[in-house]
Structure 1
């Protein structure tokens, strides 16, 4: 089923990035485990990148998450903390595919709106916007979710992982 979202071109997104509420249902599912399910998410949009979604902690099943030592820094949002996913039944641990800005201290106070929210890279779990399964942004730095309504050449991104 399509997500029924309006067409958006990544090159029409702003720089510096903007934060806005999401008018859709987001889900993150690993096998049959619902890691997140929300209609109260925020997204950050930035030129040449698909949206990065942030899910309120109340809507994330945190029993499977374990904070690790990895960090990264964004000049807009500040220091990000990363989490490992500890699946049940002795399945392999998924390292650092979830992050959060626990205390956004970057260059702009508007990003306080994602304080404590969780963001998920696509994979190894499935991520959905409404009922549309998303594709991962190329590369492994920004973590954007690409839906069929997103057009324009997407930047793969690069950056420094930890401090």
Structure 2
């Protein structure tokens, strides 16, 4: 069973610069606990770009795959650019006459109005806010201080712990190792840097940064944040308990 909600955003998806889907009244669809996707009427999809295909031969879980049963898979092709099994219809009466297109990073370029969006559509019931602060913040792992700052930007995001974005000058990047990991968030954008803690106990991708975040949270640009779930965080002299969230595992998931 899915949950749906109409929305009046102007949404477009492009492949190789060509608009393959466009709607001013897309339908948001929630599949259980996962972020929403858009489901479009067939006449909102460019003519001739979809071709029925067999189910993809994919192993393992993908955050960007359909989370309920699929009735029909489609290849998406335009201008000689082919995306196999990148669109589908869901087995639910609420969206039986609509088609969902992939949000897998690097495939389609999506915009809501004229602003690029990555990862998944923005949830109208989710709040994201970045506020400058003078709190005293200290970050440590296994007794080693990785950051200390009195000029953080606090990022508040629904259903997630408060994140503390610190000036790079206040972070001991020399104690960590950069990685090639990236993540995508519809509210903040694409990360362009992650760092791991190489010492005991060895924590992968525990810190990240956005050089060009979405305009709504532009004040976090160039700053470094840590997963509260993976480090020892002290704020104004008070040691915070490590929260439990989808990021409590050391395995990085989309949307830092």
Into which bin does the TM-score normalised by the smaller protein fall?
A: 0.5 to 0.7
Q: What pairs with 1:28-67 in structure 2 (closer than 5 Å)?
A: 28-67=139-178
Q: 1:139 is matched with which residue?
A: 245
Which structure has the larger Rg?
A: 2
CA RMSD of aligned residues (A): 2.4
Please point out which of 91, 95, 118 is paired with 2:204.
95
Alignment TM-score, normalising by the size of structure 1: 0.67
Deviations 1:55-83 (A, max 9, x none): 11010011112221211111121112321
Q: In the alignment, is the contact (CA less than 8 A) between 2:229 and 2:245 conserved in 1?
A: no
Q: In the alignment, is the contact (CA less than 8 A) between 1:18 and 1:45 conserved in 2?
A: yes
Alignment TM-score, normalising by the size of structure 2: 0.45
Instruction: Give, in angstroms, the shift of residue 21 of structure 1.
Output: 1.2
Please, which runs of 5 or more residues in structure 2 have no aligned partner?
1-124
Deviations 1:64-118 (A, max 9, x none): 122212111111211123211123xxx45321111111221x3xx1322111211
Q: In the alignment, is the contact (CA less than 8 A) between 1:100 and 1:118 conserved in 2?
A: yes
CA gap of 1:134–1:60, structure 2 versus 1, over 3 A, is same
Distance in structure 2 (CA, Å) of the matches to 1:123 and 1:76: 20
Q: In the alignment, is the contact (CA less than 8 A) between 2:230 and 2:242 conserved in 1?
A: no
- Where relative contact order (Cα < 8 A, 6+ residues apart) is larger, the structure is 1
Q: In the alignment, is the contact (CA less than 8 A) between 1:15 and 1:47 conserved in 2?
A: yes
Q: What is the number of residues matched between the two proteins?
A: 127
Q: 2:84 is matched with which residue?
A: none
Q: What pairs with 1:72-111 in structure 2 (closer than 5 Å)?
A: 72-80=183-191, 81-87=193-199, 91-104=200-213, 106=214, 109-111=215-217
